Amino acid sequence: MTASEILGQLLSGVSRGMVLFLIASGLTLTFSVMNILNFAHAAFWLVGAYVTWTIWHLLLLPATGFWIALPAAALVMGAIGWIVEFVLIRRVYDRPHTEQLLLTYALVLVIGDLIKLTWGVDDRIVGRPELLRGYVELLGAPLPLYSIFVIALGCFIAAALWWMLHRTRFGRIVRAAVYSREMVSALGLPIRRIYAGVLAISLFIAGLAGGVQSPISSITLGMDMNVIIEVFCIMVIGGLGSLAGAFVGSLIVGVTYSFAILVFPKMALVLIFLVTALVLIVRPWGLFGTPMRV
């Protein structure tokens, strides 16, 4: 393998890792704040991809429509997050983990069929925006601009999340809610609205992730099924509830995958499980494992 091939593979791995981070960060946020593991998170990501396609398709602007479709789809997903919290999730906060798992598992089934009803069974793909169709050359390797854009977006969201949690009033309340829900309620803060806000933000980011995925590969029914497993692996590797862990875990999984696929094309995902098992043996609480901390 030449240096330029390695560089190319590395970039594609990091870019894939960033999409995974966008998904994992929202899941981590809801898990640590609301203490609910959302099986359906990747299903929402897939809905985000389909919504992006629909908006792009309706705009009739193949070259630039992406720039409108991406934020619009994210906003739509954010609104869906607010509604889902309001209608479903808020009714099960006090229930055992088992029933919460079952509820979000049921959502996976429901969303899968709703996608089939709405968009049919055909594959969809969004045209890459003109601006990002080129390549930059580094060490003789042609690096796709789009991958660089995805990495930049991932880093931007990571930074924005950090800023939101540590530099805004909303973030301070959210972090307080991680430690003690009762305390936040006792202070007269609207805990319910905060939870709804957290799920909305989480799905907003999932929508962005779906949007940036849509020009990378065709959008297919059921593609969320593997992704949710990968994201669980990321959370376990990084430490459940840790955003920094989700970031590092995503990079590990993304890069491992992009190199593994060269060596064992069929067993790339299997390798990710081996990495996960390895981390768990050495550090059962994950790399950044201070559970329940944002």
Partner 1 sequence: MRDSGASTVGWLVAAGVVAAVALPFAAGLFWVHVFTEILILGLFAMSFNLLFGFTGQLSFGHAAYYGVGVYATALLLTKTSLPLAVCMAASIVLAGAFALAFGFFCVRLTGIYFSILSLALGQFVYYVIFNWYEFTGGDNGIQGVSPPLALRDPYAYYYFTLVVVAAASVLMWRIVNSPFGYTLRAIRDNADRTRFIGIDVRRYVLICFVIAGMFAGLAGALWAPFARSVSPDLANWTQSGLPVFMTILGGPSHLLGPMVGSAIYTFLSAFVTGFTVYWPLTIGTIIIFIVLLMPGGVLGAIDAAFAARRTRRRASNAEVVHGSRGEGVAE
Closest by CA to 26, choosing from 15, 38, 11, is: 38
* Min separation Cβ 270 and partner 1, Å: 5
DSSP three-state, residue 9 = helix
Per CB under 8 A, does 229 bind partner 1? yes
Q: 20 near 250, Cβ under 8 Å?
A: yes
Per CB under 8 A, does 277 bind partner 1? yes
* Min separation Cβ 223 and partner 1, Å: 14
Which CB, 147 or 250, lies closer to partner 1? Answer: 250
Q: 44 near 111, Cβ under 8 Å?
A: yes
Per CB under 8 A, does 262 bind partner 1? no
Near partner 1 by CB under 8 A: residue from 114, 138, 160, 262: 114
Contact string (CB under 8 A) for partner 1, positions 90-109, x = contact: -xx--xxxxx-xxx-xxxxx
Contact string (CB under 8 A) for partner 1, positions 69-88, x = contact: -------------------x
Which CB, 143 or 243, lies closer to partner 1? Answer: 243
The residue range among 161-169, 243-251, 253-261, 264-272 that interacts with partner 1, by the rule CB under 8 A, is 264-272
Q: 144 near 133, Cβ under 8 Å?
A: no
Residue type, 41: H
Per CB under 8 A, does 116 bind partner 1? yes
Which CB, 96 or 188, lies closer to partner 1? Answer: 96
Secondary structure (DSSP) of 133-171: S-EEEETTEEEEHHHHHHHHHHHHHHHHHHHHHHHSHHH
Which CB, 144 or 241, lies closer to partner 1? Answer: 241
Separation of first and last alpha carbons in the chain: 40
Per CB under 8 A, does 261 bind partner 1? no
Which CB, 110 or 187, lies closer to partner 1? Answer: 110
Which CB, 116 or 133, lies closer to partner 1? Answer: 116
Could you tell me what percentage of the chain is helix, strand and coil, using 3-state DSSP and rounding each to the nearest 5? Answer: 75, 5, 25
Cβ of 155: how many Cβ atoms within 10 Å? 13
Applying the rule CB under 8 A, the residues between 29 and 48 that interact with partner 1 are: 37
Measured between alpha carbons, how far is residue 47 from residues 78, 108, 113, 118, 197 in Å? 12, 11, 11, 10, 19
Measured between alpha carbons, how far is residue 35 from residues 38, 93, 142, 179, 228 in Å? 9, 8, 43, 11, 17
The residue range among 76-84, 173-181, 233-241, 242-250 that interacts with partner 1, by the rule CB under 8 A, is 233-241
* Min separation Cβ 265 and partner 1, Å: 9
| Site residues for partner 1 per CB under 8 A | 37, 88, 91-92, 95-99, 101-103, 105-110, 112-114, 116-117, 225, 229, 232-233, 235-236, 240, 266-267, 269-270, 273, 276-277, 280-281, 284
